[in-house]
Amino acid sequence: MVSICLTLFLPTQASAATLQQQLEQAITTFGNGDYTSSYWQFESMELDYGTEPEFLARNFQQTILPVRGYAALMADRPTDALIYFGELLSQYQPHPSLQGFALYNAAIAQSQTNALAAAAQTFHNFQLIFPGSNEAALALLQEADLRYDIGEVATAIALLEAFYESEAPETLRMQARLRALQIASETDSTDRAREILFESDWNIDAMPDIAVLSFAALDAGDRLLNAGHYSDAVRAYRLTLPRKVLIDKQSERLERVKSALAQQSLFASSIWKSHSQQLVARLTRQLELLEYMSDYTPGLYLRSGQAYLLGLRYREAIILFRTVAQTPEFESDTRAEAHYRWILSLSEAEDWQGARDTAQLFLNQHPGHKLANSALFLIARAYQSEGQFLEAIAVLDDLITNYPNDKQAPRWYFTRGYNLSALERQSTARDNFETALERFPESILVEQLKLWRGLTFFFERDYTASLYALEALKKSSKKHPLYPEINYRIANVTYAQRDYDTALKTADTLIKSFPDHHRVPEAQTLRGDIFMGQGELLQAANAFRQVPPDDAQLYDYAIFQSSKIYKALERYDLLRKHLQAYIDRDEANERTRVSEALYWIGWSLQQEERGTEACPLFEQALTRFGNDPNARAVGSILSAYADLYKRLGNTDSILPTFDTWLENATEQSLAQGELTWFARLTLFKSNRQRRSLGDERADATLLSIHRFVPIDQQDAETLASVGLVLIQRGYGSADDYCEQILTEYPKRFERGSAYFGKAQLAANAERLTEAR
């Protein structure tokens, strides 16, 4: 083998060349980067002169061993490299720079011979011998990788964490952070991956491995999406660059690293040269992979859109899905999938007309697609959600007629029956449910179809027939998830029959047997109604107190049912205590009936001729909620306070008028910087002026809010009122008010004013398509 290589790599007179000539040839070849030829030339030199004193001389060996070791390492001969570096380190005591070179590359050779633990320890020793050097930083990164490879995950993580917090070059710190992120993903440490991804100060310019960040962020986004952390998934996906952008960025990085490597001097640290060469090779491989892999960009947009959709950020979801659906360069199936999710997003955003139009567009563009039927069904649901039951039924009729045996047909029948029931066409709805049961006796919807068949009798007030159907279903569905629901419905039927004992027993059984079921709060509310029907008012009040506050609507109903009881019993003390506890709840500012509670407290005091005591309660509530932009019903509280103030003013001539109080409170709030409270008082004043002084004066008052109060300190009601006036008067800043409502108050009814305002602004600018 040696003779063959000598024939290939050496001139014909090589065997006769002197030792010095062979050395010069090997060094020259080495300097040109032809490490394999250099390795064999050193091997030939030893074959020719290995026993000569000149070759064995200590100075000669100390000179050639590091070159020979590195040539062997780069020629994929790590075992030979270990021998040469080991001999140099153990026998020749090289100077520090040469020692570092040999030690570092010996560790690399150990890793290449699969002696990973030994390699990790050698890199660790390097750091101890040469602390604080840039090369030590490289050694730490190598050690961390090896510790992870041999299963010492905690040690690897600790090393990378400490390195990131160190004063090492930023490029290396970014590499350490990326490796920590990869380890977190590979070990399924979702929380750790999220922490690294979002709490790291990523410097893209100092990060050659930008592709690593993109794909690590993509992987983290997928994990966060699957774990239900939708907002964090969105943040992760934002760190993932689209394929074309990433290819351009990666090409720039590669050229930059190549240029830096070419500019390194011949005497630059070989460790850094090796690091740079490895980096060039790694970036080249990444770029080749990117160029040959299929485009992941549509999938990225779909996943991002799904995260927005599940995170209830429908506007962004709609934009992303629409973008993919309307990009002709993407594959047809991908565009169809995006189009379907576009319809879903519009439906979730309750843009029913938009959902129907987009679904119809889907049918036009993808008529034979497997999701076409699902798109039609979404059209029906959109009609249903808008209360257009006849239109929904017409679409469902077409589906059932044209695709009678589709696997989704039972769902279509069920939905058609629901819509017929909503139109109070109970007999037709019942026939529909019975047809579905006859045609699809094995469907997973059988119990649901039977339940609603029984409910059609209930809606007709045929309680006997309804109870018969539900009792039969109850006997056959004891292990079905609908069993608690069936019991709840039976309790309602027997309550409607005024069979209070059976209704109470059924409700109690449901609560005891299924304490975590979503119908339990309603069953607890029903218990209160049952006791009221029996005339057991105190027991009813106690039952209503068991209703949990999680369901705001039921809880408020129970609170005010109890209030009726206390009023009927003329127990004004209990009424006040009861409602005061309601007002004092932490989430009271989210309750829409706080002003009503305050009113009844004041009313109860008036029944006891203690009207003057009501004022402090109103004032306390206004002080508590007035300057909180998220608090609701503050306008209603003001109205109640104004009425009470007026009544008290009729009996107390010393008390200033409410207008005076309002003026003083407005001036004081502005002076004290309570700008949300100032805006609310000004809005209340404007509404009073609108009734007495006209729109011109009222609008002028409203505009003072625009002058003095930043939009982030205005509540939804104020934003809507001021925004509409700004639109009417042609102010360009009106759009900011609309955006603030849509961003900060997406579920408040004022969003309707925001959409109207944006449409009006678009129409004023002659952007008619956008306005529509």
* 446-490 pLDDT tens trace: 999 999 999 999 999 999 999 999 999 999 999 999 999 999 999
Q: What is the amino acid identity at position 599?
A: Y
Residue 441: count other Cβ atoms within 10 Å of its Cβ.
Answer: 8
Q: What is the amino acid identity at position 26?
A: A
User: Of residues 757 and 570, which shows the higher confidence score?
Assistant: 570
Cβ-count burial 499-524 (b if 16+ within 10 Å, e if not):
bbebbbebbeebbeebeebebbbbbb
Q: What is the pLDDT of residue 648?
A: 67
Q: To the nearest 10°, the Cα dihedral for 513, 517, 522, 525? A: 50
- Write out pLDDT tens, residues 26-42: 888 887 778 888 888 88
For residue 140, pLDDT over 80 is answered with: yes
Query: Residue range 80-104: average pLDDT?
Result: 82
Query: Residue range 340-368: average pLDDT?
Result: 86
Find how far residue 18's CA is from the centre of its chain: 72
User: Of residues 149 and 592, which shows the higher confidence score?
Assistant: 149
Q: Are 641 and 618 in contact (CB under 8 A)?
A: yes
For residue 265, pLDDT over 70 is answered with: no
- The answer to whether the Cα torsion of 198, 204, 206, 209 is positive or negative is positive
How far is the C-alpha of 420 from the C-alpha of 418, rounded, in Å? 5
Highest mean pLDDT, choosing among 170-174, 255-259, 302-306, 370-374: 302-306
- Write out pLDDT tens, residues 547-564: 998 888 899 899 999 999
User: Of residues 394 and 190, which shows the higher confidence score?
Assistant: 394
Query: Residue range 499-508: average pLDDT?
Result: 95
Query: Residue range 622-646: average pLDDT?
Result: 77
Q: What is the pLDDT of residue 503?
A: 95
Query: Residue range 198-215: average pLDDT?
Result: 71
Q: What is the amino acid identity at position 105?
A: N
Predicted confidence band at 616 (pLDDT cuts at 50, 70, 90)?
A: confident
Q: Are 88 and 69 in contact (CB under 8 A)?
A: yes
Predicted confidence band at 62 (pLDDT cuts at 50, 70, 90)?
A: confident
DSSP string, 41-108: HHHHHHHHHTTSHHHH-HHHHHHHHHHHHHHHHHTT-HHHHHHHHHHHHHHS---HHHHHHHHHHHHH
State both tokens at 26. 């090997």
Q: What is the pLDDT of residue 11?
A: 38
For residue 513, pLDDT over 90 is answered with: yes
Predicted confidence band at 322 (pLDDT cuts at 50, 70, 90)?
A: very high
How far is the C-alpha of 590 from the C-alpha of 555, rounded, in Å? 12
Query: Residue range 169-178: average pLDDT?
Result: 79
- Write out pLDDT tens, residues 584-598: 887 766 676 776 787
For residue 664, pLDDT over 70 is answered with: yes
User: Of residues 315 and 174, which shows the higher confidence score?
Assistant: 315
Q: What is the pLDDT of residue 599?
A: 72
Q: What is the amino acid identity at position 736?
A: D
- Write out pLDDT tens, residues 215-234: 778 888 888 888 888 888 88
The region of weakest confidence among 308-322, 417-431, 519-533, 599-613 is 599-613
For residue 254, pLDDT over 80 is answered with: no
Q: What is the pLDDT of residue 409?
A: 93
For residue 263, pLDDT over 80 is answered with: no
Q: What is the pLDDT of residue 12?
A: 37
User: Of residues 610 and 665, which shows the higher confidence score?
Assistant: 665
Where are the alpha helices (H) located in 440-591, listed in sequence order?
Answer: 446-459, 463-476, 483-496, 500-513, 520-534, 537-545, 552-568, 572-583
% pLDDT > 90, the chain: 22
% pLDDT > 70, the chain: 88
Q: What is the pLDDT of residue 16?
A: 44
Where are the alpha helices (H) located in 200-331, listed in sequence order?
Answer: 210-226, 230-238, 243-263, 270-292, 297-310, 314-325
Q: What is the pLDDT of residue 286?
A: 59
Q: What is the pLDDT of residue 190?
A: 76
Closest CA to 599 of 583, 585, 623, 586: 583
Predicted confidence band at 111 (pLDDT cuts at 50, 70, 90)?
A: confident
Q: Which residues contact 618 (CB under 8 A, 6 or more apart)?
A: 598, 602, 637, 640, 641, 644
How far is the C-alpha of 221 from the C-alpha of 217, rounded, in Å? 6
**Residue recorded with tokens 């299963």:** 151
User: Of residues 256 and 218, which shows the higher confidence score?
Assistant: 218
The region of weakest confidence among 75-84, 337-346, 754-763 is 754-763
DSSP designation for 200: S
Mean pLDDT of the chain: 82
For residue 268, pLDDT over 70 is answered with: no
Q: What is the pLDDT of residue 715?
A: 87
State both tokens at 145. 């990788």
The region of weakest confidence among 269-283, 366-380, 569-583 is 269-283
Residue 632: strand, helix, or coil: coil
For residue 15, pLDDT over 50 is answered with: no
**Residue recorded with tokens 């003057």:** 612
Residue 263: strand, helix, or coil: helix
Residue 10: strand, helix, or coil: coil
Query: Residue range 265-284: average pLDDT?
Result: 57
Q: How far is CA 85 from CA 49, 76, 414, in A?
A: 20, 15, 79
Q: What is the pLDDT of residue 250?
A: 66
For residue 768, pLDDT over 90 is answered with: no
Q: What is the pLDDT of residue 772?
A: 62
For residue 404, pLDDT over 50 is answered with: yes
